[in-house]
Amino acid sequence: MSKPLITVRDLSIGYGDTTLLRNASFDVPRGDIFIILGGSGCGKSTLLRHLIGLETPLAGEIRIAGIGAPRLEGAAPRFGVMFQSGALFSSMTVGENVAFAVQEWTHLPPEAVSAIVRAKLALVGLEGSEDKLPAALSGGMRKRAAIARAMAFEPNLIFLDEPSAGLDPVSAVELDELILALNRNLGLTVVMVTHELESIFKVGKHCIMLDRDTRTIIAQGEPQKLRSETDDPRVRRFFNRETSIPQWQ
């Protein structure tokens, strides 16, 4: 088996006096679609911010491709990110949003930047939308534009924080298909936070589940296997959420 792309060892994270996660260890294999699960407020977005080097852990170690403590400042990022708020700059067109990400780190001539912008928008199925403002796009198109922006540097790793939140079911399925296509066709490794069961089973290869009460990882492995094999009632409840909805007929 090849070396994992991300290794996390004995990681503790939190803010001030609050610890959100203690002694967490896990690996993200190269080429994986790795899902971070857990209830609201358990620290999923915080974990993501640590993985990309925006926050410093209380203890423990994070390595990406063998390199520790990745920092965004100063160096060109080696990975793409779509934050939970996912925001595109609303006063810039879709094309300008993607171009901005390229121009921030490179000194390419304008024609080269526009070629990259066109290629990235085509990659997410948004060809022809570069002159539109974000407000003129559907929610699903906006998410795809944010993914195009995250792909601007041709990263081999992207982080997505609840990419399908707030989307209608059809757009959410389309977004899952886009993520799968990027993973399969480009070998892109994806680390993603999501609550959507359908998404987890459709695209997820491995996952970890965080728990707010114990501040630990309460489950890790393949989503399908966890669902069928877990003895932990919390994990079972999560994966079988639909059965807790009362059935009236």
Ligand X SMILES: Nc1ncnc2c1ncn2[C@@H]1O[C@H](COP(=O)(O)OP(=O)(O)OP(=O)(O)O)[C@@H](O)[C@H]1O
Q: Which does 15 bind (CB under 5 to 8 A by kind): ligand X, Mg ion, none?
A: ligand X
- Give residues in contact with Mg ion (CB under 5 A): 44-45, 84
Residues forming beta bridges with residue 157, ordered by sequence position: 189
Can you tell me the distance from the alpha carbon of 164 to that of 99, in angstroms, rounded to the nearest whole number? 24
- State the nearest-atom distance from the C-beta of 5 to ligand X, in Å: 22
- State the nearest-atom distance from the C-beta of 192 to ligand X, in Å: 12
**Closer Cβ to ligand X, 81 or 116, answer by number:** 81
Q: Which does 46 bind (CB under 5 to 8 A by kind): ligand X, Mg ion, none?
A: ligand X
**Of 214, 210, 227, the residue nearest 36 (C-alpha):** 210
Can you tell me the distance from the alpha carbon of 154 to that of 146, in angstroms, rounded to the nearest whole number? 14
- State the nearest-atom distance from the C-beta of 120 to Mg ion, in Å: 25
Q: Which does 95 bind (CB under 5 to 8 A by kind): Mg ion, ligand X, none?
A: none
Q: Which does 106 bind (CB under 5 to 8 A by kind): ligand X, Mg ion, none?
A: none
Residues forming beta bridges with residue 21, ordered by sequence position: 13
Which residue type sits at 163?
P
**Closer Cβ to ligand X, 15 or 105, answer by number:** 15
**Closer Cβ to ligand X, 15 or 89, answer by number:** 15
Can you tell me the distance from the alpha carbon of 102 to that of 96, in angstroms, rounded to the nearest whole number? 10
The torsion defined by the Cα of 203, 205, 208 and 209, in degrees rounded to 10, comes to 40
Which residue type sits at 10?
D
- State the nearest-atom distance from the C-beta of 66 to ligand X, in Å: 26
Q: Which does 42 bind (CB under 5 to 8 A by kind): Mg ion, ligand X, none?
A: ligand X
**Closer Cβ to ligand X, 152 or 192, answer by number:** 192
- State the nearest-atom distance from the C-beta of 199 to Mg ion, in Å: 15
| Pair type for strands 33-37 and 206-211 | parallel
- Give residues in contact with ligand X (CB under 6 A): 15, 20, 38, 40-46, 84
- The phi, psi pair for 232, rounded to 5°, reads -85, 120
